[in-house]
Structure 1
Amino acid sequence: MVMEQKHTGAARVMAILDVLSSADVAEFPEGMTVSDVSRSMGREKSVVSRQLKSLLESGLVARDAAGRYELSWRLFALALRAGDQRLMKTAGPVMLRLTEMVRERTYLTVLSDGEVLTVHSESSRRSIEAVGWVGRTVPVNRSSSGMALLLDHEDEHIVDIVRRGDDGITAREAREFLARVQDARRRGYTVANRIFDPELLGIGAPVRDYSGRITAAVNISGPALRIEPHIHVFAGHLLSAVQAFQQPLSAVRSLA
Structure 2
Amino acid sequence: MALEQNRVAAVQSGASRVMAILDVLSAADASAFPDGLSVADVSRLLGREKSVVSRQLKSLLETGLVARDEESGRYDLSWRLFALAVRAGDQRLTKLAAPLMLRLTEAVRERTYLTVLSDGEVLTVHSESSRRSIEAVNWVGRTIPVNRSSSGMALLMDHDDEHILEMVRRGDDGVSASEARAFLAKVQEARQRGYSVANRMFDPELTGIGAPVRDFSGRIKAAVNISGPAFRVEPHTQVFGAHLLATVRALQSSLCPEARSTA
Q: Does the alignment reach a TM-score above 0.5? A: yes
Change in Cα spacing, 1:173 to 1:161, as seen in structure 2 (3 Å) is same
CA drift of 1:139 comes to 2.0
Selected match of 1:233 from 222, 234, 239: 239
- How far apart in 2 are the matches of 1:110 and 1:137? 10
- Please give the alpha-carbon distance, in whole angstroms, between the structure 1 residues aligned to 2:227 and 2:87: 28
Tell me the TM-score normalized by structure 1. Answer: 0.89
SS state at 1:108 partner: strand
Alignment match, 2:193:
187
Q: Which is further off, 122-131 or 71-80? A: 122-131
Q: Confirm or deny: 8 A CA contact 1:190 1:203 kept in the other structure.
A: yes
The residue number in structure 2 matching 1:49 is 54
Divergent runs of 4+, >6 A: none
Match of 1:214 among 220, 241, 245: 220
- Match runs of 1:1-256 below 5 Å: 1-64=6-69, 65-250=71-256
**Amino acid of the structure 2 residue aligned with 1:31:** G
Contact 1:83 1:209 in 2 (8 A): no
TM normalised by structure 2 equals 0.87
Shift of 1:210: 4.7
- Deviation per residue, 1:80-104 (Å, 9 max, x gap): 0111111232332221111011111
Q: Is the 8 A contact 1:83 1:210 kept in 2?
A: no
Once residues 74 and 249 of structure 1 are traced to their aligned partners in structure 2, the CA distance between those partners, rounded to angstroms, is: 22
Number of residue equivalences: 252
Task: Return the letter of the residue paired with 1:60.
Answer: L
RMSD of aligned C-alpha atoms? 2.1
Aligned residue identity for 1:11 = S
Q: Is the 8 A contact 2:147 2:183 kept in 1?
A: yes
- By relative contact order (CA 8 Å, sep 6+), the higher-ranking structure is 1
Taking every aligned residue pair, what percent have the same amino acid on both sides?
Answer: 75
On the 8 A contact 2:113/2:224 being kept in 1, the answer is yes
Q: Which stretch of structure 1 is more off in the superposition, 137-146 or 85-94? A: 85-94
More displaced stretch, 78-87 vs 181-190: 181-190
Q: Is the 8 A contact 1:86 1:248 kept in 2?
A: no
Contact 1:80 1:209 in 2 (8 A): no
Q: Within 2, Cα distance between the matches of 1:215 and 1:16?
A: 27
- Judge conservation of contact 2:96–2:255 (CA < 8 Å) in 1: no
2:107 and 2:196 map into 1 onto residues whose CA distance is 19
CA offsets 1:2-51 (integer angstroms, 9 cap, x no match): 11010001001101111111112232222111111111112222211111
Tell me by how many angstroms 1:137 deviates: 2.7
